Amino acid sequence: MFNFHNFAFKSTNQINKYKINKMNRIKLLLTAFFISTLFISGCNNGQKENTDKEVLVRQVVDTVGFAQYDWQMDSIMAKIEREQGKKLNEKLSYSGINDVGWKVVVSPHDDYAYVGYMYPAILKNIKAKTIILIGVAHKAKKLNLEDLLIFDSYDYWKGPYGNVKVSGIRNEIMKHLPKDIYQVNDTMQKIEHSVEAIIPFLQYYNRDVEIVSILVPYMSFNTMEKIAGPLAKAINTVAKNKNWEWGNDFAMVISNDAVHYGDEGWGGENFAFFGTGCKANESAKLYDYDIMKTISGPYNPDKIKEFTEFTVEENDFRKYKWTWCGRYSVPLGLLTAYKLNEQMGGELLFGTAVGYSNSIDHPELEVEDIGMGTTAPAYDNHWVGYAGIGYK
């Protein structure tokens, strides 16, 4: 016989047990939530202590001429090997430089489509992890900058294979410099393209590369000599403290494009110094060769001054005499290297001309298929030269 009383009693007990179990589960969940909240809060507090300073990443300015992404960079290198591999290998094997580890190089910074094989020809033999990049300050006039080294305050620069760390030696170098010869100016650094062009190639060869970016605006040769000494001394002090070897642990890359030639597309300026046409362009190229000779072979301050006499007006250092945009970065960088070498007691630095090309003497790389392009035209009346020189 069905006993309703027993059933009701059991049902009531089961309901009570269910309520108790449910309450216990709720208590357990609340306790767990409370503990996890404390844990997360503790973690967040710890993170906050480490992230009070916002991480600053310098983004790419020229997203047309230069690679932003790993697949773009991989494709660029594959295209160079496939289409210009013979020229590249000729440059790398020239005078036995294939296995050389440069202390200093002068590298182009124009669109990858135009410069092509010249980038790896000069940058492949950079073996060091920490690179001091001496760049051009193309728009220094807009910011009224001259007679100062321009540093940045970024923590990283965007690279195709991930962010590139700014080396801690940047702040150490600045600490050892007189305050009146440098400035930290992110506005100048973030609008300048001459450093960012080189970083993807450095990162391609070494994913752990670290950099220091120093831009060189207008300055006279006398000012360069006054600044190069303290800069070399600061670098030497930092290197000694870290027991670093020049060429193995750190190196310098000086950014420069050679002559900007032609009578069209230069903002109303006529840079066709020898006129236009094939013979004129050939004369301009030979003139670039003469300039390269001043900073090749065993070099010294007198030869560097000769370079400046080729490129800068004697009575106004702000004006071009011959349109190398590295008319300040090259002599300042090489003077610094010369003085650094003296301080380190090294053998005289020797410059090897790895190669020279321009934007119209070889077929450009096809880059539209990887979302890239060119930022300026290239034809007989508008072209740019590219000089590659390595020093050891």
Each residue of 128-164: pLDDT tens digit? Answer: 999 999 999 999 999 999 999 999 999 999 999 999 9
At 285 the pLDDT is 98
Residue with tokens 């070498």: 341
Tell whether 76 and 206 lie within a shared domain. Answer: yes
At 3 the pLDDT is 41
Tell whether 239 and 348 lie within a shared domain. Answer: yes
Tell whether 352 and 238 lie within a shared domain. Answer: yes
Tell whether 86 and 27 lie within a shared domain. Answer: no
Tell whether 168 and 43 lie within a shared domain. Answer: no
Tell whether 282 and 309 lie within a shared domain. Answer: yes
At 38 the pLDDT is 38
At 52 the pLDDT is 64
User: Environment class of residue 171 by beta-carbon count within 10 Å: exposed (0-12), middle (13-18) or buried (19+)?
Assistant: middle
Strands (E) across the chain are located at 57-58, 104-107, 130-136, 149-151, 156-157, 164-166, 182-184, 210-216, 250-255, 260-261, 297-298, 350-358, 383-391
Report the pLDDT averaged over residues 352-356. 96
Tell whether 88 and 13 lie within a shared domain. Answer: no
Q: What is the dihedral of CA 8, 12, 18, 24, to 10 degrees?
A: -170
Range of the domain at 36: 1-52
Tell me which residue of 386, 390, 333, 391 sits closest to 108, measured CA to CA: 386
Tell whether 88 and 137 lie within a shared domain. Answer: yes
What pTM, to 2 d.p., does this model score?
0.86
Mind listing the pLDDT tens digit for each residue in 163-209? Answer: 999 999 999 999 999 999 999 999 999 999 999 999 999 999 999 99
At 95 the pLDDT is 62
Spatial distance between the Cα atoms of 312 and 223, rounded to a whole number of angstroms: 14
Tell whether 232 and 372 lie within a shared domain. Answer: yes
Task: Quote the percentage of the chain above a pLDDT of 70.
Answer: 86
Comparing 49-63, 71-85, 301-315, which segment has the lowest mean pLDDT?
49-63
- List all residues 6 or more positions away from 87 whose beta carbon is below 8 Å from its beta carbon: 117, 362
Counting the structural domains of the chain, the total is 2
Q: What is the mean pLDDT of the chain?
A: 90
Tell whether 145 and 24 lie within a shared domain. Answer: no
Tell whether 352 and 382 lie within a shared domain. Answer: yes
pLDDT exceeds cutoff 80 at 18: no
For position 213, which CATH number holds?
Answer: 3.40.830.10
Tell whether 138 and 20 lie within a shared domain. Answer: no
